[in-house]
Chains A and B, each alone.
Chain A
Amino acid sequence: MERFLFLTLDGLSTGAVYAAFALALVLIWRAARLVNFAQGAMAVATAYVGYAVVAATGSYWLGLAAAVLAGLLLGALVERVLMRFVGHANPLGDVIVALGLVLLIQAVLGMVFGNEYRPAAAPFDTDGLTVGGITAISPYDLWVFAAVAVVVVLLALLFTRTPIGLRMRASAFAPEVSRLLGVDVNRMLTVGWALAAAVGALAGMLVIPTGLGLHPHAMDLVFVIAFTAAVVGGLDSPVGAVIGGLLVGLILSYVTGYLGPDTTPLAVLALLLAVLLVRPGGLFSGVRARQV
C-alpha cells in the first residue's frame, strides 16, 4: 500500500509536467489544426534562453519570464516566417517543416552551446516532504502543480471570457466564415502560435530540472509522452490534456515501479489503444462531424 501511494504521488508529479507540455500541443491544435512536432525543440531553445538569463542575473524568475517571452517571440516568428508559407497543396507539409525545424534547432543549439548536459536549477527544493511516512512530493512538485493549474485557468478564461479567445476559436474552426465576419484570421494564427510556444516554454522550464539537464535533445522523450497524453485526452480539450498528462504520468510510474522500466512503451500503447478504440477522438472529444 505504501508503495502504491508512493508511486501514485510520483506519477502525479511527473504527470503534471507532461500535462503542461500537452497543453501547449492542444493550444496549437485549437489555433491551427495541426500538431506542432517542433514544440519540443522550440521549448528547449527557449529554455536555453531562460537559463542564460538565470546565469546572467542569478534570478530564476527573471529567467522564467525571459523563457516565456522568448517562447512568445519564437512562436510568432515560426508562424510568420515559416508556417504561413506552407501551402495546403501537401497535407503533410506542416509536419515536415516542423520536423525540419526540429533538426535545425537542435543542430544550432549543439553548435552554439555544445552537445553537453548543462545544469538546470530549480527554484524550489526538489527534496521530497515526508508526510505520514511517505516521502514523495517536493516543494518543486507543488510549484509545478500550481503553475499548471494557473495556466489552465488562464487559458480557460482566455478562450471563454475574452473577445480574442473567441476570435481564435472561430478562426480555427471556420476560417472562411470568421474572415467574412471581420476577424483577422492570419493574426489569430500568429497569436495562437505565440501563445502555444509560450506555454511550451513554461513547460520546458518546468520539465528540464526534473530530467538529465539542459541539452538539445532534452525534450525529445517529453514530446512523445506529452503527445500521447494530448491524444488520450483529446486534442481539442485543455482539460483533456491535463487529465491525459496525469493519467500517462500515473501509468508510467505504476508500470515502471511494478513491472520494470522496459515495459513502459508497451503500457503507453495499451493505454492509447484502450482509450482510442472506445473513443477515437480521445477522452474529451467533441461530437464527430459526420458519419455514414
Chain B
Amino acid sequence: MTQSPYATVDARPSPLRRLLPPPPGAAGPRGSTLLRHLVLAVLAGAAVVLLTNQLEPYRNLQVARVCAFLCVTAGFTILVGLNGQLSLGHGALMATGAYTVALVQRGLDGRDLRGQWSVPLSLLLAVAVTALLGLVIGLAAARLRGPYLAGVTLAVATLVPAVTTIFTGVFNGEQGLPFPVATPPAFLGAYFQPERWLAWIALLAALLTMLLMANLVRSRYGRSLRAVRDDEVAARLAGIHVARTQVLAFVVSAGCAGLGGGVYAVLTATVASGKFPLELSLFLLMAIVIGGLGSLAGAVWGALLLVALQDLPALLTEAFTLPGGLAQRLEGNLALAVFGLILIVVMLVAPGGLQDAVRKATARLGRRRPRPSR
C-alpha cells in the first residue's frame, strides 16, 4: 500500500503540468485503474476479515472504529489535501450522518420494518442527507478562503448541541437517541460474535469509500481538484469551473463523513450530541495532517491515530501504577500531553506526515530514490 502512486504529497506543485493528461504507463497498463484498486480492496478486505476472526470482541470494535473513521478521513483528506479547502466542521457532518441513521432506524423499527437491509438503507440515506448539507456549506465555502472558511466551518462545528437542543422533540437533546442494534444474520450461527459483524459492516463501508476515493483521485476530476488547489487562476484559464469543483469536493467529502458518522452510530446503536464536540472536528483535521495530507494511505494512518487517541488514556492508566495524589494529577492529563507532544514532534520531524515519512524510509531502504511525484 505504501507504494501506491496516488499516495504522494507534492512539495512543489506545478500547476500546468497537472492539467495535462497523465503520461502513458502512469495510470497502470491499459488504464485499468478500477480493476487494480478493486483487487487491492478485496485483498485488504479479506486480510482484515481474517484478522477479525482471531480477535476478541473489544479488538473487533477497535477495528470497526478504525474503519468508521477511515470513511471520514478518506473523504476529508481529499477536500483539504487535494482541493486545499480547510474545514473545521467535519464533526458536525459526521453527526448529520449519525443522526440520519438513528432516525431512519427508529422510524423503520417503529413501523415493524426490520431486516438486514435496514442498515445499508439508513447508511445510504445518511450519505445522501450529509452530501446535501455538504452542498449547502460548499456553496458558501466556495466564496471563502483560508481563515474565513475556517471561521465559518468552526461555527458549523458548534451547531450540533444547539440544533439537538432546540429540536429536542426530534433529536432528544443531549441524551440522544438509542436505536436497534445491527445483529449478525442467522446463517452465521448463534454464537457468532456480534462485534465481529459490526466490524464487517464498518469494513465494507471503509473499503467502498477507499475504492471510490482512489478512483476519484486518479480521474480527470481528481486532477481538476489539484489544479484548483495549486492555482485557481491557472485552473480557470485551463477551463476548469473553479467554484463547481470546490463545491463538488465539499459534497464528496461530506458524503464520506456522513457514511463514517453513520457507521460510527451503528457500532454503538446510539447517537448523542456530546459525541460530536468541536474537538472531534479538530482531531479529524489533526489525523489527516499527521497521517499525510492528500494521501489515502495517510487517511488510514489518521484513522488509526483517532482510535489510538481514544484508547490512549485507558492504556496509560493501566501501564502506570502511581501513588494516589500523583496518579490523580496524571490521570487523563498524561494521555493528552503525550498526544499533544506527538503532534508537535511529527510536524517538526516529518512535515509531510507519517505516510510521507514511511515512503521516504522505504525508498531509502530499497536504495531507490522516491518515485517522482506525478
Q: Name the contact of B289 in the complex, choosing from A96, A110, A224 (C-beta under 8 A).
A: A96
Q: How far is the CB of B163 from chain A (nearest CB, A)?
A: 8
**Does A266 contact B147, Cβ atoms closer than 8 Å?**
no
Q: Name the contact of B166 in the complex, choosing from A115, A262, A280 (C-beta under 8 A).
A: A262
**Does B339 contact A103, Cβ atoms closer than 8 Å?**
yes
A228 beta carbon closer than 8 Å to chain B: yes
Q: How far is the CB of A26 from chain B (nearest CB, A)?
A: 11
Binds A, one of B66-74, B154-162, B192-200: B154-162
**Does B339 contact A92, Cβ atoms closer than 8 Å?**
no
Q: How far is the CB of B88 from chain A (nearest CB, A)?
A: 9
**Does B343 contact A103, Cβ atoms closer than 8 Å?**
yes
B255 beta carbon closer than 8 Å to chain A: no
Q: Name the contact of B282 in the complex, choosing from A99, A231, A232, A292 (C-beta under 8 A).
A: A99
Specify the chain B residue showing the minimal Cβ separation from A34. B147
**Does B340 contact A102, Cβ atoms closer than 8 Å?**
yes
Residues of B within 8 A of A137 (CB): none
- Residue interface bits B228-240, CB-to-A below 8 A is 1, else 0: 0000110011000
The 5 residue pairs across chains A and B that have the minimum distance between CB atoms: A100-B343, A103-B340, A104-B340, A231-B151, A107-B337
**Does A92 contact B293, Cβ atoms closer than 8 Å?**
yes
Binds A, one of B36-44, B178-186, B219-227, B326-334: B326-334
Residues of B within 8 A of A107 (CB): 333-337, 340
- Residue interface bits B332-374, CB-to-A below 8 A is 1, else 0: 1111110111111001100111000000000000000000000
Please give the residue numbers on chain B whose beta carbons come within 8 Å of chain A beta carbons, in ascending order.
Answer: 9, 11, 80, 84, 86, 140, 143-145, 147-148, 150-152, 154-156, 158-159, 161-163, 165-166, 232-233, 236-237, 278, 282, 285-286, 289-290, 293, 329-330, 332-337, 339-344, 347-348, 351-353
**Does A273 contact B140, Cβ atoms closer than 8 Å?**
yes
Q: A104-B341, A231-B147, A268-B158 are in contact. Are A96 and B333 (CB under 8 A)?
A: no
A108 beta carbon closer than 8 Å to chain B: yes
Cβ contacts A to B, 6 pairs, < 8 Å: A89-B9, A96-B286, A111-B329, A262-B166, A272-B151, A273-B152
Alpha-carbon distance A290/B24, docked complex (angstroms) = 36
Q: How far is the CB of B292 from chain A (nearest CB, A)?
A: 9
**Does B337 contact A265, Cβ atoms closer than 8 Å?**
no
Told that A100-B343, A104-B341, A107-B333 touch, could you supply 7 new A-B pairs with CB distance under 8 A? Answer: A35-B150, A96-B347, A104-B337, A115-B333, A262-B165, A265-B161, A276-B143
Q: A107-B333, A262-B162, A266-B159 are in contact. Are A100 and B86 (CB under 8 A)?
A: no
Q: How far is the CB of B81 from chain A (nearest CB, A)?
A: 9
Specify the chain B residue showing the minimal Cβ separation from A106. B336
Q: How far is the CB of A105 from chain B (nearest CB, A)?
A: 8
Residues of A within 8 A of B278 (CB): 224
Residues of A within 8 A of B158 (CB): 224, 265, 268
A152 beta carbon closer than 8 Å to chain B: no
Residues of B within 8 A of A96 (CB): 285-286, 289-290, 343, 347
Residues of B within 8 A of A235 (CB): 147-148
Q: Name the contact of B340 in the complex, choosing from A29, A101, A268 (C-beta under 8 A).
A: A101
A135 beta carbon closer than 8 Å to chain B: no
Residues of A within 8 A of B151 (CB): 227-228, 230-232, 272, 276
Specify the chain B residue showing the minimal Cβ separation from A109. B333
Residues of A within 8 A of B340 (CB): 100-105, 107
**Does A104 contact B162, Cβ atoms closer than 8 Å?**
no
Residues of A within 8 A of B289 (CB): 90, 92-93, 95-96
**Does A268 contact B155, Cβ atoms closer than 8 Å?**
yes
Q: How far is the CB of B87 from chain A (nearest CB, A)?
A: 11
Residues of B within 8 A of A262 (CB): 161-162, 165-166
Alpha-carbon distance A263/B84, docked complex (angstroms) = 31
Q: How far is the CB of A21 from chain B (nearest CB, A)?
A: 14
Q: Name the contact of A264 in the complex, choosing from B162, B293, B332, B333 (C-beta under 8 A).
A: B162
Residues of B within 8 A of A182 (CB): none
A180 beta carbon closer than 8 Å to chain B: no
**Does A265 contact B162, Cβ atoms closer than 8 Å?**
yes
**Does A108 contact B162, Cβ atoms closer than 8 Å?**
no
User: Which residue, A103, A108, A228, A235, has most C-beta atoms of chain B within 10 A?
Assistant: A103
Specify the chain B residue showing the minimal Cβ separation from A271. B155
A183 beta carbon closer than 8 Å to chain B: no
**Does B154 contact A292, Cβ atoms closer than 8 Å?**
no
Alpha-carbon distance A107/B159, docked complex (angstroms) = 26
Residues of A within 8 A of B341 (CB): 100, 104
Alpha-carbon distance A112/B233, docked complex (angstroms) = 51
Residues of B within 8 A of A123 (CB): none
Specify the chain B residue showing the minimal Cβ separation from A220. B278
Alpha-carbon distance A231/B155, docked complex (angstroms) = 11
Q: Name the contact of A92 in the complex, choosing from B11, B144, B285, B329 (C-beta under 8 A).
A: B285
Alpha-carbon distance A228/B89, docked complex (angstroms) = 14
Alpha-carbon distance A232/B148, docked complex (angstroms) = 8
A163 beta carbon closer than 8 Å to chain B: no
Interface residues in A35-87 (C-beta closer than 8 Å to B): 35, 37, 82, 85-87
